[in-house]
């Protein structure tokens, strides 16, 4: 459905979520003169952000003077032509359930959240669509998006995917800045799954780093991890080439190589013997790759797709497998032919 929204300059935008990524996305748009309101969880949080023009989640970065902050969700959403959801994947259903009754007719909804709902295995745009049906265009926004680097104005590229290219162009224009190049795509499924599944592989890379497995091992994990992402993505209707783009390979490289990556750091600490419960307690939250690993395994089982790295990682996360033993088991698998057109069906050929 084509959205009946205004042009870029007069479009009102609501960003729901005051985590680091939500603050950065809202700030980047506001810095380009967009009419953006950041929706805070409480009045106290809104007052703090408004008065200090600083977020404790993005230290040292000042919020643009033009960025409004409000805790009045109903008022903000009911005036916004574009609503950007930037909340944890496992709370998307709860949060969007609060947003959806107040949407303008034809308002565009953009998911900037990477993950799968653990209870259902649904992608974030599917969770959103369970409320909106076909009444609102829905976009997925993903790519190699390390929040601290984008906040600092370092060069970056991302991708917005939408079935309606007219809407995709609008969102592309609104998100683009001089240092942040936004591409658009039609493959919503592939773009979302790339962003979600790379968090799983980043956990595995962190474990390899913690075990001092070496650069060759990490390169193999990235490459075979990308094959797993592509296999599951194709089985669910995504396109193979999407996983070679920004939302797949691009995001995978950034997340697996950067010390800023929470998923990589979680994996590193798991390899050093810390328990998941302790990691969550000291970090204040769980890395998105943990629930995504579990959700991906449920979906893969249903679809008949083999995910060797993800399966072993799931055992490590559950505490039933030592990380070193996981590496040995992975190496002990029978190796088949490497195929660039890796099948989505594990039964067709060895794929480990």
What's the CA gap between 239 and 166, in Å, rounded? 21
Segment 275-288 mean pLDDT:
81
The percentage of residues in the chain with a pLDDT greater than 70, rounded to a whole number, is 93
Segment 201-218 mean pLDDT:
95
Segment 200-223 mean pLDDT:
95
**313 Cβ contact partners less than 8 Å away, ≥ 6 residues apart:** 200, 203, 204, 207, 293, 326
What's the CA gap between 79 and 35, in Å, rounded? 11
Catalytic residues: 198
**Residue whose tokens read 């042009």:** 7
Q: Is the pLDDT of residue 351 over 50?
A: no
DSSP per position, 153-205 = T--EEEEEE-SSHHHHHHHHHHH-BTTEEEEEES-HHHHHHHHHHHHHHHHHH
What's the CA gap between 119 and 136, in Å, rounded? 24
> Bigger pLDDT: 351 or 250?
250
Of 11-25, 96-110, 313-327, least confident by mean pLDDT is: 313-327
Element (H, E) at 14: strand 12-16
Q: Note the pLDDT of residue 105.
A: 96
Model confidence band, residue 6 (pLDDT cutoffs 50, 70, 90): very low
> Bigger pLDDT: 327 or 132?
132
Residue 251: both structure tokens together: 């995001």
Name all domains of the chain by residue range, CATH numbers in brackets: 8-186 (3.40.50.720), 190-348 (1.10.1040.10)
The percentage of residues in the chain with a pLDDT greater than 90, rounded to a whole number, is 83
Segment 212-225 mean pLDDT:
95
CA-nearest of 25, 63, 23 to 41 is 23
Question: Which tens digits make up the pLDDT trace of 101-159?
Answer: 999 999 999 999 999 999 999 999 999 999 999 999 999 999 999 999 999 999 999 99
Q: Note the pLDDT of residue 277.
A: 84
Q: Note the pLDDT of residue 124.
A: 99
Q: What is the pTM of this model?
A: 0.91
């Amino acid at each position: 459905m084509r959205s009946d929204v205004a042009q870029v300059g007069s479009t009102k935008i609501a960003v729901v979520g005051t985590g680091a990524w939500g603050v950065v996305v809202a700030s980047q748009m506001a810095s380009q003169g967009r009419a953006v309101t950041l929706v805070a969880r409480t009045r106290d949080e809104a007052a703090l952000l408004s008065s200090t023009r600083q977020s404790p989640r993005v230290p040292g970065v000042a919020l643009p003077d033009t960025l409004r902050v409000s805790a009045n969700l109903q008022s903000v959403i009911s005036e916004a032509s574009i609503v950007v959801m930037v909340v944890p994947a496992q709370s998307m259903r709860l949060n969007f359930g609060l947003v959806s009754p107040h949407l303008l007719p034809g308002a565009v909804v953009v998911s900037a959240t990477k993950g799968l709902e653990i209870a259902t295995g649904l992608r974030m745009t599917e969770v959103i669509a369970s409320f909106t049906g076909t009444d609102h265009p829905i976009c997925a926004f993903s790519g190699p998006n390390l929040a601290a680097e984008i906040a600092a104005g370092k060069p970056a590229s991302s991708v917005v995917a939408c079935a309606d290219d007219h809407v995709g162009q609008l969102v592309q224009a609104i998100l683009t800045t001089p240092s942040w190049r936004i591409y658009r795509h039609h493959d919503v499924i592939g773009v979302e799954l790339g962003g979600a599944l790379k968090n799983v592989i980043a956990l595995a890379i962190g474990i390899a780093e913690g075990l001092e497995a070496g650069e060759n091992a990490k390169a193999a994990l990235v490459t075979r991890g990308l094959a797993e992402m592509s296999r599951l993505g194709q089985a669910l209707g995504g396109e193979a080439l999407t996983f070679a783009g920004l939302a797949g390979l691009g995001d995978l490289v950034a997340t697996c190589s950067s010390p800023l990556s929470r998923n990589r750091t979680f994996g590193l600490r798991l390899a050093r013997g810390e328990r998941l419960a302790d990691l969550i307690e000291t970090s204040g939250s769980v890395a998105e790759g943990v629930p995504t690993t579990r959700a991906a395994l449920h979906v893969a089982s249903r679809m008949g797709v083999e995910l060797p790295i993800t399966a072993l990682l799931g055992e490590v996360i559950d505490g039933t497998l030592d990380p070193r033993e996981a590496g040995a088991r992975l190496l002990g698998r029978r190796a088949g032919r490497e195929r660039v057109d890796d099948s989505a069906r594990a039964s067709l050929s060895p794929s480990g």
